[in-house]
Amino acid sequence: MTVAAESTSNLHGEPMRSGRNTWNNQVRRHALMAPDQIAVKYLDAATTWRELDDRSHRFAAALQRRGVQFGDRILIALLNRTEYVEAVLGANLIGAIPVPVNIRMSPAEVGYLVEDSGAKIILTEKLLAPLADAVRASTGAIDTTIVVDAGDSGDDLDYEALLAEDPADLAEVDIPEDTVALIMYTSGTTGKPKGAMLTHLNLQSQAMTTINASDGQPGDIASVVPPIFHIAGIAAFAPVFYRGIQAVIHPLGAFDPDAMLDTLEREGVTSVFMVPAQWQAVCAAQRAKPRDLKLRTISWGAAPAPDTVLRAMNELFPDALNMTAFGQTEMSPVTTLLEGQDAIRKIGSIGKVVPAVTARIVDPLMDDVKPGEVGEIVYRGPNLMKGYWQNPQATAEAFRGGWFHSGDLVRQDDEGFLYVVDRAKDMIISGGENIYCAEVENVLYSHPAIAEAAIIGRAHPKWGEVPVAVVVLADSADSLTLDELGPHLNENLARFKHPKDLVVVDELPRNPGGKVVKHKLRAAYGSKDAGLIH
Question: What CATH number has the domain bearing residue 447?
Answer: 3.30.300.30
Q: Which residues contact 240 (CB under 8 A, 6 or more apart)?
A: 39, 222, 246, 247
Tell whether 92 and 165 lie within a shared domain.
Answer: yes
User: Is 354 within the bounds of a domain?
Assistant: yes
* Cβ–Cβ < 8 Å for 386, 178: yes
- Whether 164 and 311 share a structural domain: no
How many Å is the Cα radius of gyration of the chain?
A: 23
d(CA 93, CA 2): 14
Residues lower than pLDDT 50 in the chain: 1-12, 189, 530-534
Q: Are residues 263 and 306 in the same domain?
A: yes
Same structural domain, 329 and 373? yes
Tell me: do 244 and 333 sit in the same domain. Answer: yes
CB atoms within 10 A of CB 265: 15
Q: Could you read off the pLDDT of 281-335 as tens digits, one per residue?
A: 999 999 999 999 999 999 998 777 777 888 899 999 999 999 999 999 999 999 9
Nearest to 120 by CA among 93, 142, 104: 142
Asked if residue 18 belongs to a domain, the reply is no
CA angle (523 as vertex; 517, 527 as ends), nearest 5: 135
CA–CA dist 23, 231 (Å, integer): 16
Distance CA 390, CA 373 (A): 36
- In terms of Cβ atoms closer than 10 Å to its own Cβ (0-12, 13-18, 19+), residue 80 is buried
Eight-class DSSP state of 336: E
For the chain, how many helices (H) and strands (E)? Answer: 18, 26
* 9 inside domain: no
Q: Side chain identity at 27, as an amino acid letter?
A: V
The distance between the two most distant Cα atoms of the chain, rounded to a whole number of Å, is 74
pTM: 0.84
Burial (0-12, 13-18, 19+ Cβ within 10 Å), 18: middle
Together in a domain, 97 and 170: yes
457 in Cβ contact with 465 (< 8 Å) = yes
Give the domain-ending residue among 158, 175, 192.
Answer: 175
Residue 249 parent element (H or E):
strand 246-249
The upper half-sphere exposure of residue 156, i.e. CA atoms within 13 Å in the direction of its Cβ, equals 23
Q: How many domains does the chain have?
A: 3
The reply to whether 147 and 128 lie within a common domain is yes
Burial class for 4, CB neighbours closer than 10 Å (0-12, 13-18, 19+): exposed
Helix (H) or strand (E) holding 88: helix 82-93
DSSP state of 423: E
Q: Which helix (H) or strand (E) holds 376?
A: strand 375-380
Evaluate whether residue 17 is within a structural domain. Answer: no
Q: Where are the beta strands (DSSP E) in 1-155?
A: 38-42, 45-48, 73-76, 97-100, 121-125, 144-148
The domain containing residue 103 runs over which residues? 38-175
Please state, in angstroms and rounded to a whole number, the distance separating the CA atoms of residues 233 and 288: 28
CATH assignment at residue 281 = 3.40.50.12780
Tell me the per-residue pLDDT of 56-70, one tens digit each, with 9 for 90 and over. 999 999 999 999 999
Which alpha helices (H) appear in 156-306, and where do they start and end? Answer: 159-163, 200-213, 231-234, 237-243, 257-267, 276-288
- 409 shares a domain with 451: no
The answer to whether residue 530 is domain-embedded is: no
CATH number of the domain within which 48 lies: 3.40.50.980
Question: How long is the chain?
Answer: 534
For residues 280 and 414, membership in a common domain is answered with: yes
**Are 403 and 273 found together in one domain?**
yes
Residue 12 lies in a domain: no
| The pLDDT of residue 376 | 94
Domain co-membership, 47 together with 103: yes
Verify that 275 and 329 share a domain, yes or no: yes
Q: Would 489 be classed as within a structural domain?
A: yes
192, part of any domain: no
Contact call for residues 465 and 489 (beta carbons, < 8 A): no
In whole angstroms, give the CA distance from residue 181 to residue 98.
7
C-beta pairs of 233-236 under 8 Å, 24+ apart in sequence: 233/80, 234/88, 234/100, 234/182, 234/184, 235/203, 235/206, 235/332, 235/333, 236/210, 236/273
| Alpha helical stretches, state H, 295-424 | 307-316, 340-343, 392-398
Among the residues of 305-425, which ranges form H helices? 307-316, 340-343, 392-398
